Structures are given as C-alpha cells and as structure tokens.
Structure 1
Amino acid sequence: MSQDGGFGLGEIDTSRPHPARIYDYLLGGKDNYEVDRQAGDRLAEAAPEVRAGLRANRAFMRRAVRYVVGSGVRQVLDIGTGLPTSPNVHEVAQALAPDVRVAYVDNDPIVAAHANALLSSSGTTSVMLGDLRDPRSVLDDPVVRRTIDFDEPVALLLVAVLHFLSDAEDPAGAVATLRDALAPGSFLVLSHATGDFADRTAAQAVYSKATATLNLRSRAGVERFFDGFDLVEPGLAQVPFWRPDGPPEPGSDGIGFYGGVARRAG
C-alpha cells in the first residue's frame, strides 16, 4: 500500500479468486477473471441459493440506505463496497437527497478503478483503497476525511464484508474502532453470511484458496457486532425479511444472510 492509501494496478492478484469479483460474477457482472468464475460456479454448486442470496443482500442494502437517508443522515462510509452494481449506494442515496456524500472503501484495486469511473463530478463521492482489517487507516485517510465529517452523523455500511475476516483478524475490534469514531445519531448497516439455515461447509471450502476466507457466524455471533448500537425494528433478520418492499421470493427462508440496521445513541 502506498502512503496515499492506494495500490498500484500492477498489484492486482488474478491468480486467486477475490470475493468482490466472485460476487460480481454471481450477480451477472463482467468485471471478473476465469479464476473468479470457476470459484463462483463451485460456490453455486455448494450453495444453490447463493445467487438469490446475493440479490436479496443487494436489495437489503438499497432499503437500508433509503432508511438511513430518510432518517436524516447525509454521509455514508461504505467499507468493502465490492464492484459497482447499479443502483450503487450513492445512486440510491442521492436519489433521495442529492447532497449525500459517499466514501467507498475496498481492498481490490479493480474495485477502486471501476468505482473511480463512476464518481460524480460534484465531488460528493470518493473512493479509496483500504482494508477493514486496518480500520484506523481508513478513518485517517485523507480521501475519506475530505468526504466524511466524523463530527456529524454517518451511515457506516459493512455489507457482506465481515464474514471475510476470521476471528483471528478481530472483526469485532475493527467494528468497535469504527463505531467509536462515529458521532451520536450515526447508523451501522451490516449484513453477514451464516450457516444457521444449512450446512455450508462446502461453500466455505471454495474460499480456502481465495484472497479471503469465508467465516460463517451464528445469529448471536452477528448480533455482537452491534454492541454499542441500538437495533431498529425488526432487529437482526434474514435479509429478505428486513423491511421488505413486497412479498419475499419463494425460498427466502433458506437464504443464509443476516442483516440489520442500528443507531448509535447520544
């Protein structure tokens, strides 16, 4: 990583699958390599509901962003953003309030390159290369600081990213560091993969040779990430059932993603 928080594009690792590119492939995107497509196919074989789960996760993100913007938040810090899938966070947020500022953070140089191509000319959206495993560097990064005023409420998005951190990498500590930087009235939007509804050992094995492992957690394990926040109704739920816009798709009760939105009290 360079001093300005970036990686050179020459450092893109195409020898191993990357979670963001696997995700992109399974959602029908084109920003992926053969190694990612092979991993995605193995993942879909091991967990047949994975594509429906990823679609439901994206839909949860859109509903959650609308909720926090509707609650008055005008800043979003999206860590582990993944490759652009329209509508993106800034598109959803700025459709409701054009003055919303969004800072995207991801550790894949390809993500940053594509996200940069989508940045608004108004300067309300930025992107940096950074890693959730080093939350302090994200918070201190000048790109983030130019976009986000941590003295005002922020919506922190950790959508489908924490399950790529093992317990040894202290994901709870990373969330706590980020939480402590947030002003009262800020929100945490979080989703996380789980094995509570099916044995997903084979799905985890797909990530054993990827750039990050898949670490499934129970409902109680996911709830712990919300320490210091107050969950809004309906609390932690499978993503299709968090404030759905309409009837969830058939089979939604088997989707292995929890999602929740919580507010940091003053």
Structure 2
Amino acid sequence: MKPLAHKVAIVTGAGHAKGIGRAIAVKLAEQGANVVVTDLQQAAADMDSAVTQLSGLGVDAMAVAVDVMDKTQIENCVQRVLDHYGRIDILVNNAGVGVGSPDFTELTDQDWNLSLQVNVKGMADFCQAVIPAMQAQGGGSIINIASLAGLGAIEAIPACYTASKFAAIGLTKQLAVNYAKQNIRCNAVCPGSIVTQMHKQTLEFIAAEHGISVEEAQQHEDASIPMGYSAEPSVVGDAVAYLASPAASYMTGVTMPVAGGMSPGI
C-alpha cells in the first residue's frame, strides 16, 4: 500500500502547471493521497487542469478557489473538504507572493502588506482552520513552504519577502511546539533556486542590474550552488511527500532546506 493511501491533503497555490504547488500535489497523489488543490478564482482553468492530472494518478481530486487573504474563503474551503472527505490529514501552505524592489528604500506599504498578508497571515489562517479537525481525528501534518530566504538574507531578494519567510518559519516552530502532544506535526520546507516564474523574475532583475543576459545570470547563480544547478519543482514535492509520510513521524519543528547545498547566513 502506498504510504499516503486514503489520506486527504490540501495544497494551496497549486494551480500553475509549472509551479511548486502543482509539483507537490502530484507527489502527494503519487503516494496515494486524495488531493484538494486551491488557488485564486482567476486560476480556475489551471485548477481544473490539476484535477484532471491528479485524477489520472488514480486518486480523488478536487479544486476549490481560495484567496488566502480572505479568512472566510479559507474556512469555507476547509468545511467543504470536511463535508466531502470527512477528514484532513495534510495541509501544505504553498500559496505565496514575491513582490517589491530589492532596493529597501523603494518598498511600498502595499509591498509589505501583501507579503505579510499572503505569506504569513494566510498561512496562519489556514493552519487555524484545519487544526481543530486534526485534533478531533487524532493528528495530522502541516507543511509550510517557506524559502531559503527565511534562513538567511540573499542578494536581490526584497526585504519584505525575506521578513515574511522568517515569520513563516517562526510560525512553523511555534505550532510544532504547541501541538506535538496532539500528534499534529508542523514542518517547513525552504526551497532554494527552483525553476519557477518567481525565479525567472529574480534572474531578470539580476541581469538588468548587472547589464548581463538572463542566461549569464543563471550561470552566475549556478556557480553559487554547491551542486551546480537550479532544480525543478518536483524536488520540493519529494521533500513534502516525505515530511507528510509515516517515515517522518518523529519529525516536527524542522526547517528543511531543499537548495543543493546553498546555506545563506544572516
């Protein structure tokens, strides 16, 4: 039997076909979990595509439009999942934004508000909504997608993004302590250089800043990675599937870098 057979997972921000959220959803489905994908309403077509892909892996899949800045939408999503499946075993908080200028003096209130509202408050609200169900059923696993920027400052990353990811890790560790005795594990995955749309935007900024091509910016970044390359989103999915599985049953409060050996400091 697959390690996550009959488990029910919610993965936020899972619409984009090439994104980390979709890769996580696929890996969980491959391990046998029924998966609920969420994203913004404007990504409805992408979510439908995700459901088709996941259903093709032999599991039950469902899409729910959720803006994580709206607590009511989060609560309605959780209730809908409970009504349909009767339980929630895994929550993966992947929804996030990367906004703002790397120049700290150019950051706006909107940059800060959006970063904190989505990357921290939305994550906290989803945790708050699922924890009572996990308590009632005797346990569960929460996995928060943070960033290597939550472990140390990285060049060309906006301060509002870095601060929000540090906060996400702090939230993870506090929940791990609070709910360990109730068999609710809470861990964080900290991706490094992963080939996504956000990664492309960072490379474009570096290229423009230094007057080089995007390809040269990628080569420069690869040279800073001990393993020598930027990875596909599936590697993050592998880490999440492990943390959600019984193999990680004694792990909580962990911040797991998935970064090819990169290790930034403050």
TM-score, normalising length from structure 1? 0.49
Structure ranking higher in helix proportion? 2
